[in-house]
Amino acid sequence: MKILVFGAGVIGTTYAWQLSEAGYDVSLLVRKQRLVRYSHSGITIACTNMRGKKKEYEQTVFRPKTIDRLDAKRPFDLIIVAIKNFQLTDAVPYISKFSGDAHVLFLGNMWNETELIKKHFPKGRYLLGYPAMAGGGRTENSINTYLFGKGNTMLGEPNGRTTPRLKEIMKIMETAGMRPQASPKINSWIKSQVVWQAATFGAAAKAGSIRTFAENKKLIRQSALAIKEGFKVCRTKGWSPYGVSPYNLFYLPGFLLTSLLKKSYTPELVEVMEAHMRHGFEELNNLYTQILEDGKKASLDLTYWKSFQPHIDKAKGNYPQ
């Protein structure tokens, strides 16, 4: 199977690296100015691997096969799209036009972007997923990535069915050690994850950093209450977090949820979340704003969600856009 990873950020590079290590024919789509450098000099990867019994550290240079544009005459069997959600606006029409008959897996944060995907791709051409297996940060020539021991690559068909292609992609991810897990409610799973990220982002902006937030029970409780508000927005759009693990836990009483959340913020997770806020501020802000606007349209009371807005606006100057 010929696989293309569309997106050379932390997630795209990590998945391309692991799939290539597993023996698959993988190409990475990069910007034209990086084409020669990635092919010859490669990209340095510092990996904290927590998939085994012991945490392992590895540093390597990944030299992927690279392309800088799609060509329907040079087809792939599977295209994995791993880019920021706001980049999908331009990427989705382009991929639809030049991807040939490839199956397309959209792997990442999506809110209203799923409607754009439905508009450009017929049923049966695409799947949805989320890379809860990996995370990290990057510089110009290197990435720092974590592979989580308890994480998964969430996968699912938009209609919730278990299809032969879903089984095949799960097998590919399993071979690469990326711990696939199928969800019959993949759309609701992704939207629930987005709500959690956006609410945490807002509370962290109020705290000044993810690390400060993760140590503050009061702010964690505020984020939990904001998440509950965000789930109300989900339901108005037909996405139900109820019954979607682990997000069904957010229906617990506030004091229990606050305690569970505080325990979940391990040093490794905090490190990844801090990197995402540092390098993905624009994406997180975009998600936060979309949910806020949809909540306003539905005339919902978003007291806690709205309370983070001034702090996000103030934090913008501290993070590169």
Taking the alpha carbons at both ends of the chain, their separation in whole angstroms is 37
**Considering only CA atoms, which of 125, 129, 299, 314 is closest in space to residue 207?**
314
> What is the arithmetic mean of pLDDT over 157-182?
97
The pLDDT assigned to 233 comes to: 97
Q: Count of alpha carbons within 13 Å of 308, Cβ hemisphere only?
A: 32
Quote the CA–CA distance of 97 and 75 in Å, as a whole number: 12
Name residues whose C-beta falls within 8 Å of residue 148's C-beta, 6 or more positions apart in sequence: 50, 51, 132, 133, 134, 135, 268
Per the model's pLDDT, the better-predicted residue between 53 and 192 turns out to be: 192
Quote the CA–CA distance of 96 and 78 in Å, as a whole number: 13
Alpha helix positions (H), the chain: 10-21, 35-40, 88-98, 113-120, 164-175, 186-207, 210-214, 217-236, 254-264, 267-279, 281-297, 303-307, 309-315
> What is the arithmetic mean of pLDDT over 52-56?
89
Quick one: fold of 2-184? Rossmann fold (3.40.50)
Helices (H) and strands (E) in the chain, counts: 13, 12
The pLDDT assigned to 235 comes to: 95
Q: Domain boundaries in the chain?
A: 2-184, 188-315
The pLDDT assigned to 321 comes to: 53
Per the model's pLDDT, the better-predicted residue between 293 and 141 turns out to be: 293
pLDDT in tens, 86-121: 999 999 999 999 999 999 999 999 999 999 999 999
The pLDDT assigned to 268 comes to: 86
Q: Count of alpha carbons within 13 Å of 211, Cβ hemisphere only?
A: 6
> What is the arithmetic mean of pLDDT over 171-194?
97
The pLDDT assigned to 130 comes to: 98
Q: What is the CATH number of domain 188-315?
A: 1.10.1040.10
The pLDDT assigned to 36 comes to: 76
Quote the CA–CA distance of 286 and 84 in Å, as a whole number: 10
> What is the arithmetic mean of pLDDT over 142-156?
93
Per the model's pLDDT, the better-predicted residue between 253 and 80 turns out to be: 80
Quote the CA–CA distance of 57 and 243 in Å, as a whole number: 36
- Percentage of the chain exceeding pLDDT 70: 99
Q: How many CB atoms lie within 10 A of CB 317?
A: 7
Q: Is-contact 107 16, C-beta < 8 A?
A: no
pLDDT in tens, 220-240: 999 999 999 999 999 999 998
pLDDT in tens, 1-37: 899 999 999 999 999 999 999 999 999 998 877 777 7
Q: How many CB atoms lie within 10 A of CB 256?
A: 11
The pLDDT assigned to 40 comes to: 78
Q: CB-based burial of residue 195 (10 Å sphere; 0-12 exposed, 13-18 middle, 19+ buried)?
A: buried
Residue 320 pLDDT grade (very low, low, confident, very high; cuts 50, 70, 90): low
> What is the arithmetic mean of pLDDT over 56-71?
93
Q: Count of alpha carbons within 13 Å of 163, Cβ hemisphere only?
A: 16
- Percentage of the chain exceeding pLDDT 90: 76
Name residues whose C-beta falls within 8 Å of residue 98's C-beta, 6 or more positions apart in sequence: 69, 70, 71, 72
Q: Is residue 291 over pLDDT 90?
A: yes
